Amino acid sequence: MDGKRLTGTVGLLVNPRSGSDVRRVVASAGASTLESKISIVRRLALGAAQVADVRWLTLPEPHQIVRRAVETRKEIVAESLDLQPHFDEGDTTRAAQMLREAGADIVVVLGGDGTNRAAAKGWLTMPVLPLSTGTNNAFPFHVEPTVAGVALGLFVAGVADATVAFGQAKVVHIEGVDDGGHTTNDLALIDAVAVADRFVGSLDLFDPDTMSLAVLTRADPASIGFSSVGGLLEPVGTGDDCGLLIRFVPPETARRTLVAPTAPGHHATIGYEEIRRLDFGERVEVAGPMLLAVDGERKISIAAGQQVTLRVARDGPFVFDVDAVMHRAVEQGYFRRTPETS
């Protein structure tokens, strides 16, 4: 990213359905309404407008969240990508590809782990500001959108360069996936978990009896979901040059167990037989029949006799660091003003 000429163009990918799935019923997850997303976008855009002239390129969606957020602010320029939506996660993937081609300086993703994963599939090394609205999130983070917008504007205005503003994320590469008769690859930003479940796409809670193994890019005891499971055993941070492998066994027969928050308001007893750090490039094989859940959603079916490979590498999105940018601006005295004298 070093030396990239800034264009003043910022992508904005808003998932209107994040924070509203079945986990509000089966667990105690909070909801994220359309009104709250509109407020987030408005505060983000107003924060950026205090610092820089930003051209927003947005993903068209039926609720027109961005238009409703900025329609009364003439100083904020927001345009929709020329994309015919299919109203699935492929829209986010295609939009990320289009933003790369448009030379976007940075992409704001408003959604959860799944939304950010969909964007990364379209632009793996995307410079991204991931703002959380989903469930079980580990990749996006919570920050006041006003401040995030100011920091974004500071970067676009050149106050902080890419070496300060971004750190590259790790990803789990999933290789050898059978996609309708041909082999392809996939990825996960936080975790890839092999489970003996039947239903692809299910957002229901994971049954500890069906879990086989997990490969994580990070393991945080202060998070939730599989990142928490790993973090309560062997913490692995975003800056650690490794991943984490956990091999599970049913808790009833396990010699070692732990209790972890696997969903908001929900704890589960989990049995495990192995936990260890994975070197970058070290390969973990998963044989079918099995389902592979990526970043919390059951996505990939592995048939009997088939096998996929998982490995961790630091070649994913460049994640925006709001704190680092704000501190750099303070060091430069950016916010200080001296009253003019006559």
Give the model confidence (pLDDT) of 45-103 as tens digits.
999 999 999 999 999 988 999 999 999 898 899 999 999 999 899 999 999 999 999 99
pTM over 0.85: yes
What is the Cα–Cα distance from 119 to 108, expressed in whole angstroms?
A: 10
Domain parsing of the chain, residue ranges: 9-169+317-331, 171-313
**Collapsed DSSP state (helix, strand, coil) of residue 293:** strand
Whether 22 shows a pLDDT value over 90: the answer reads no
pLDDT tens digits for range 240-267: 999 999 999 999 999 999 999 998 899 9
pLDDT range class, residue 342, cuts 50, 70, 90: very low
Q: Establish whether the linkage from the previous residue to 235 is cis, with ω within 30° of 0.
A: no
Distance (Å, rounded) from C-alpha 34 to C-alpha 37? 5
φ and ψ of 39, to 5 deg: -65, -40
Q: For 9-169+317-331, which CATH superfamily applies?
A: Probable inorganic polyphosphate/atp-NAD kinase; domain 1 (3.40.50.10330)
Residue 273 pLDDT more than 80? yes
Which pLDDT band, with edges at 50, 70 and 90, does 135 fall under?
A: low
> Which CATH number describes the domain made up of 171-313?
2.60.200.30
Q: What is the pLDDT of residue 25?
A: 42
pLDDT digits (tens, 9 = 90+) for 142-156: 999 999 999 999 999
Widest Cα–Cα separation across the chain: 83
Kindly report, residue by residue over 25-37, the tens digit of the pLDDT: 444 555 678 999 9
CB under 8 Å, gap of 24 or more: what pairs does 235-241 form? 236/277, 238/167, 238/169, 238/170, 238/319, 239/167, 240/277, 241/280, 241/314
Two tokens, residue 17: 């359905």
Q: Which residue has the higher pLDDT, 18 or 101?
A: 101
Q: What are the DSSP E strand ranges found in 90-156? A: 106-111, 127-132
